[in-house]
Amino acid sequence: MTDFTTDAPVTRVKHAPPKREFYAYFVIIFLAALPLSFLTWALAFGRQMQLPEKGPIARAWSQARIITPMIFAA
């Protein structure tokens, strides 16, 4: 009889992250957030009469970086 308690074979299954699916969702969310970020950027510029710290593309990018992992964590 084989004793696996001392020298148990280690089998690790590596789960590759779903890169294509992640990037597909990222692009969709980024494109959906882009018009709204342009609108909020323009409104902030109109109210304060100076350029906001983050541009509209950076805002949409950060929103996509926040939302996309939330979809995969659910």
Per domain, the residue ranges of the chain are: 19-73
Q: What is the pLDDT of residue 52?
A: 84
The answer to whether 63 touches 37, Cβ cutoff 8 Å, is: yes
Neighbours of 10 (CB within 10 A): 5
List, in order, residues 6 or more apart from 65 with CB less than 8 Å away: 26
Query: What pTM does this model have?
Result: 0.70
Taking residue 35's Cβ as centre, other Cβ atoms within 10 Å add up to 11
Count of helix runs (H) and strand runs (E) in the chain:
2, 0
**Residue 9: predicted pLDDT:** 62
pLDDT digits (tens, 9 = 90+) for 10-68: 667 666 666 899 999 999 999 999 999 999 999 999 999 888 888 999 999 999 999 99
